[in-house]
Amino acid sequence: MTRIEKVFKSGRKVLVAYLTAGDPNPAATPELVAALERGGVDLVELGVPFSDPIADGPVIQAASARALAEGTTLAKVLEIARTIRKTSDIPLLLFTYMNPVVRYGFEALARDAKAAGIDGCLMTDLSVEEADDYIGIMRDAGLDTVFLAAPTSTPRRLELVAKYSSGFVYVVSRNGVTGEREQLSASVGPLLEQLRAKTTLPLAVGFGISNGEQARASAEHGDGVVVGSAIVRLIEQGGDLEAFARSLREGLDG
């Protein structure tokens, strides 16, 4: 069983945190992850910064630019993972756009990510149609492959997403880029129901969740929630990550 599979068997709603690795600088990331873990985060998505983050809103775009300015490459993110792994067993999901991986090479990434203690990978702009080689290589290395399901996905596509995913399915709750929202989307309930009928994989809901109350509401029909931009914004402001993670945890468990 992978670390990701294990954490979804814990019995509690899983709290997933996204942060852009290398923001504000590569040396800072391991301690930020530790603070999140102390606050009750169960799984961390390490975002690989990219020059053209088309799926991200302004908060993560800016974080990406800061991380790149500090020299955060994909290789550097793996180094960060290795540092985290020295003191923590928290599941780590590499969250990345395609091109840095194309450049690094799928085989090299699978090998080096596994060695660094990464547990799985999600590629924002890799559709299941293009993923055959990638899946084989990742699975052979013992890494989970997480794919996105979206409100626009047709039943046929949800079938494919469920089939190609392992560890969990990341359920995008609304159309749009990453970013906090005051109102949560209502369309996620039916989407989760459709997916339940197609897979036994855990379902984590993300996009727009920024506080404990929203976390609880989003987790109602899912197995976990993902919080991203709210965490990245707090990092930018130098706020108390551990306390924020705890408030999300309490909201979820509440």
Partner 1 sequence: MVETVEPLAGLASGPDTRGHFGPYGGRFVPETLMSPLEELEEAYLAARRDPAFNAELDDLLKNYAGRPTPLYFAKRLSEQLGGARIYFKREDLLHTGAHKINNALGQALLARRMGKRRIIAETGAGQHGVATATACALLGLDCVVYMGEEDMRRQRLNVFRMRLLGAQVVGVTVGSKTLKDAISEAMRDWVTNVNETYYLLGSALGAHPYPMMVRDFHRCIGIEAREQILAAEGRLPDAVFACVGGGSNAIGIFHPFVEDAGVRLIGIEAGGRSEKLGEHAARFSGGAPGVLHGAYSYLLQDGDGQVALTHSVSAGLDYALIGPEHAWLHDRGRAEYLNCTDSHALEGALQLSRTEGLIPALESSHAVAIALDQAPAAKGQIFIVNLSGRGDKDIDLYRENLPELDINSEKASA
Residues acting as catalytic residues: 45, 56
Which residue lies nearer to partner 1 by CB, 165 or 210? 165
By beta-carbon proximity to partner 1, the closer residue of 97 and 168 is 97
Instruction: Write the secondary structure of the chain as one string of H (helix), E (strand) and C (coil).
Output: CCHHHHHCCCCCCEEEEEEECCCCCHHHHHHHHHHHHHHCCCEEEEECCCCCCCCCCHHHHHHHHHHHHCCCCHHHHHHHHHHHHHHCCCCEEEEECHHHHHHHCHHHHHHHHHHHCCCEEEECCCCHHHCHHHHHHHHHCCCEEECEECCCCCHHHHHHHHHHCCCCEEEECCCCCCCCCCCCCCCHHHHHHHHHCCCCCCEEEECCCCCHHHHHHHHCCCCEEEECHHHHHHHHHCCCHHHHHHHHHHHHHC
Which residue in the set 2, 83, 88, 99 belongs to the binding site for partner 1 (CB under 8 A)?
A: 99
Rank residues 155 and 254 by Cβ distance to partner 1 and give the closer one. Answer: 155
Applying CB under 8 A, among 26, 100, 206, 228 the residue interacting with partner 1 is 100
Footprint (CB under 8 A) of partner 1, residues 35-94: 50-55, 57, 61, 68, 73-75
CB of 225 to partner 1, least distance (A): 18
Q: Which is nearer to partner 1, 105 or 142 (CB)?
A: 105
Shortest spacing between CB 194 and partner 1, in angstroms: 13
Binding mask 115-154 for partner 1 (x = CB under 8 A): ---------xxxx-xx----------------xxxxxxxx
How many residues line the site for partner 1 (CB under 8 A)? Answer: 40
Residue 25 in the binding site for partner 1 (CB under 8 A): no
Q: Which residues contact partner 1 by CB under 8 A? A: 50-55, 57, 61, 68, 73-75, 97-104, 124-127, 129-130, 147-154, 157, 161, 172, 175-177
